[in-house]
Amino acid sequence: MRSILSDEGRAALEAIARERALVILDFDGTLAPIVPRPPDAAMNAETRSLLRVAALLYPCAVVSGRPRADLAQRVEGVPLVAIVGNHGAEAGFGPVDRAIGRVVEGWARTLSRELSGAAGIEIEEKGLSIGIHYRRAADRSAARRRALAAATRLAGARVFGGRLVVNVVPARAPDKGAAVAEILRRIGARRALYVGDDVTDEDAFSAEGVAVSVRVGRTHASSAAWYVPAQRDVDALLRALVAARRRLDGAGGECTDALLRAAAR
């Protein structure tokens, strides 16, 4: 895993800029800092301005485990080509499989019964997926084990961890990798840059068409080829993407400068 902000990494970004490839980012832990209460998550002003400029220079999308309606509110005003929620299952184009929603509703009722009385565990039913949060548990290890045990008993579920959360999605639902492939197909692009920070992003890191995969936080456990050290460094990555397009601007960068000024207002 190599730094995307190194000279070698910037060369990879130049290739993305020349092709004006699709740029896709996760939300929590990538565009927005992780916070104690997920409802409080938000991009800071600088990140929002940079993302707005990047979205004018590249086709950009945001993919998240959040419900799409919730995510859309948090990226309002950014000209994105796609907003995808529920770990890839809720793309916003084409009909949603309502049968998946009914299965998830049943799982939520089962989990509520089985985890009733478990201090510090909160069940978030998101329409097409479930998050079992244990951030507030006094014994997080015990809470995680209990949440995993309950989730893995659900028939037809795909269960995976996250940042102090156990995620539950129907095994047949599209994942983030499938979402990337569909966005590429719909906009007629061949290559993408993907940025994410969590287990669920691994499906996208290895997806066909993802030419540059960037993980927030360095680890040998990821299939991503590149990394930025921390969430706060995503701004530097967005600046590098903007700068790469600026260098390709035939007007000497004046157009991009105008976009930067407009985005800052």
Catalytic residues: 26
User: Which two three-digit tokens encode residue 210?
Assistant: 């993802």
Give the strand order in the sheet containing 22-25: 2-3, 226-228, 210-216, 192-196, 22-25, 60-63, 82-84
What's the first-to-final CA gap in the chain, in angstroms?
Answer: 37
Closest by CA position to 21, among listed 223, 259, 201, 183:
183
User: Read out DSSP for 128-147?
Assistant: S-EEEE-TT-SSHHHHHHHH
86 vs 190: CA distance, rounded Å? 24
Q: Which residues contact 202 (CB under 8 A, 6 or more apart)?
A: 222, 223, 224
151 vs 165: CA distance, rounded Å? 12
234 vs 54: CA distance, rounded Å? 12
